[in-house]
């Protein structure tokens, strides 16, 4: 039986790499649903090639173009954010790859989990914002959440066969991004172009900026907390500039298990899609001789303040990680639009975290409200109007 797959965000970096994996394994996978927001050309060509049951274009303004281009194809076409929430519930879907970027991925993922669909989770913001709600719902509905993030995939892989062995701590490895060796003074001058030039990974713009500020690693700590049930004291971030060790687990006897490989997102994507089986492939192989030195460093949370803020949010709990995420989305967009400077990002996030009311046990409506209110405050702060 082929696994029938929906990809939320099929036109992005994770979405296109997922399609590459699926294209190479037609005997294992079949595409049911593809979705995009604005990239109509790519969505149309993907739909023509993969012949899904349905496509969704989230931005309704693009509906006309997509429906005209696909009028002779046997593909249902829907538009709008709510269509994403509906389409993930289709009976024919076995697994949903959540490859949308940002908060926008939360509600469709929530609907997919409610409908009992297994999730290959790339959209880390889902667990940052609503980790408690999503993981407890997944448990209740016996839904598997299979990590796509390379670090979490590494930890997931290292945990196999270790059900009787408690984890002492995990090491989340982090490339350090393009500014690893920069001082605070240097960071005052960096441009959007500099920040988008990640040394090891080719990713969407938002996660690339998050990698440069180390917010991405902070988000991953929160994601690891929810996926593996670990407190922040058992999650350590280690800078590893070569991105060869994808993450590690230390057990109670001091033994450390690591998962290694070249930085290539197709591997963790393929692992999540094929789980519990490993699928043979011809991706380039790692050679130890090409990497005679693997380095490790402590992250500097005084310069990369976002990492510390994310750990604070994790420890505070409640709606604070939702505030962290919403404020971050606002400042990253403002930075990409060249409206604020690089170091303004953590400053505004911290101020926003101080201003939004704390909710200890938020439900999904509280989180939706927190997201809206936080964006309003963060937006005013980016415009110096608060």
- Binding residues vs ligand NDP (CB under 6 A): 9-15, 36-39, 58, 99-101, 104, 122-125, 149, 201, 203-204, 206-207, 265
Nearer to ligand NDP, 79 or 250 (CB): 79
Closest to 236 (Cα-Cα) out of 141, 332, 167: 167
- Residue closer to ligand NDP by CB (options 182, 206) is 206
The distance of closest approach from Cβ of residue 42 to ligand NDP in the complex, given in angstroms and rounded to an integer, is 7
Residue 194 to residue 208: CA distance in whole angstroms: 11
Strand order in the sheet with 54-57: 76-79, 54-57, 29-36, 3-8, 95-98, 118-121, 145-147
CB of 354 to ligand NDP, least distance (A): 25
CB of 10 to ligand NDP, least distance (A): 6
Q: How far is the CB of 69 from ligand NDP (least distance, A)?
A: 14
Report the run of H or E that residue 251 belongs to, with start and end: strand 245-251
Sign of the alpha-carbon torsion through 12, 18, 20, 22: negative
Q: H-helix or E-strand containing 43?
A: helix 40-50
Q: Smallest Cα–Cα separation from 154: which of 240, 224, 253, 230?
A: 224
Q: Are 6 and 96 in contact (CB under 8 A)?
A: yes
Quick check: 99 and 31 in contact, CB under 8 A? no
Q: Which residue is nearest to ligand NDP (CB)?
A: 12
Which helix or strand (DSSP H or E) is residue 382 part of? helix 364-382
Shortest Å distance, C-beta 228 to ligand NDP = 17
Nearer to ligand NDP, 58 or 90 (CB): 58
Which residues lie below 8 Å from residue 223, measured CB to CB, with a gap of 6+? 124, 127, 128, 131, 147, 149, 152
Residue 35 or 382: which CB sits closer to ligand NDP?
A: 35
Is the CB of 98 or the CB of 250 nearer to ligand NDP?
A: 98
Shortest Cβ distance from residue 149 to ligand NDP (Å)?
4
* Residue number, 8 or 187, with CB nearest to ligand NDP: 8
């Amino acid at each position: 039986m082929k696994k029938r797959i929906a990809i939320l965000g099929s036109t992005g970096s994770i979405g296109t790499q997922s399609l590459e994996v699926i294209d190479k394994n037609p005997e294992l996978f079949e595409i049911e649903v593809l979705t995009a927001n604005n990239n109509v050309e790519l969505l149309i060509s993907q739909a023509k090639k993969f012949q899904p049951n349905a496509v969704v274009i989230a931005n309704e303004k693009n509906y006309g173009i997509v429906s005209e281009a696909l009028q002779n194809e046997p593909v249902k076409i829907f538009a709008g954010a709510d269509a994403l929430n509906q389409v993930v519930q289709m009976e024919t879907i076995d697994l949903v790859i959540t490859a949308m970027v940002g908060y926008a991925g939360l509600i469709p993922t929530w609907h997919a989990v409610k409908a009992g669909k297994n999730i290959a989770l790339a959209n880390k913001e889902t667990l940052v914002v609503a980790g408690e709600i999503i993981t407890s719902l997944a448990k209740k509905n016996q839904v598997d959440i299979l990590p796509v993030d390379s670090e979490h995939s590494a930890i997931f892989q290292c945990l196999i066969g270790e059900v009787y062995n408690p984890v002492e701590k995990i090491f989340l490895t982090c490339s350090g991004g393009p500014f690893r060796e920069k001082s605070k003074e240097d960071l005052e001058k960096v441009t959007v172009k500099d920040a988008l030039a990640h040394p090891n990974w080719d990713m969407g713009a938002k996660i690339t900026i998050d990698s440069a500020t180390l917010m991405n690693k902070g988000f991953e700590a929160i994601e690891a907390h929810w996926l593996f049930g670990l407190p922040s004291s058992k999650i350590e971030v280690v800078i590893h500039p070569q991105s060869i060790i994808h993450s590690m687990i230390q057990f109670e006897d001091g033994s450390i298990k690591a998962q290694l490989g070249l930085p290539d997102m197709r591997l963790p994507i393929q692992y999540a899609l094929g789980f519990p089986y490993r699928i043979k492939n011809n991706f380039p192989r790692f050679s130890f001789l090409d990497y005679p030195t693997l380095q490790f460093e402590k992250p500097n949370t005084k310069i990369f303040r976002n990492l510390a803020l994310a750990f604070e949010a994790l420890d505070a709990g409640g709606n604070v990680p939702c505030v962290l995420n919403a404020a971050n989305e606002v400042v990253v967009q403002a930075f990409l639009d060249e409206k604020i400077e690089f170091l303004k990002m953590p400053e505004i996030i911290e101020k926003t975290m101080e201003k939004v009311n704390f909710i200890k046990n938020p439900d999904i409506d509280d989180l939706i409200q927190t997201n809206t209110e936080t964006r309003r405050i963060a937006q005013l702060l980016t415009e110096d109007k608060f």
